[in-house]
Amino acid sequence: MRTLKKATQSPVVVLTGEDEGRLAWQGAVARLDDPPESVAVVDLGGGSCELAVGAPSSGPSWVRSLDIGALRVTRAL
């Protein structure tokens, strides 16, 4: 992290899986013109997969991060 902080001259924050899931959910529903009552979001990354479910009016009520990202699963085969 020091190398990244030095290279970017910016603070570096490491997110928890739950934080990443909440941000993915917020990003996915932010621009919905006519959102449904409930929204489920799946954010598949290289090392993990975040799942989040909630109501656009109140935010995600359920968030999980699983160690089943695309790169991790591919390397395990």
> Residues 6 or more apart from 32 whose CB is under 8 A from it?
39, 56
Across 1-77, where does the E strand assignment appear? 39-44, 49-55, 59-66
Q: How far apart are CA 63 and CA 29, in angstroms?
A: 15
pLDDT at 18 over 90: yes
- Band (52; pLDDT cuts 50, 70, 90): very high
pLDDT at 44 over 90: yes
Global confidence as pTM: 0.82
Residue pLDDT, tens place only, 54-63: 999 999 999 9
Q: Residue 54 has which token pair?
A: 């909630």
Mean pLDDT of the 49-74 span: 95
Write the single-letter amino acid at 14. Answer: V
Write the single-letter amino acid at 42. Answer: V
pLDDT at 51 over 90: yes
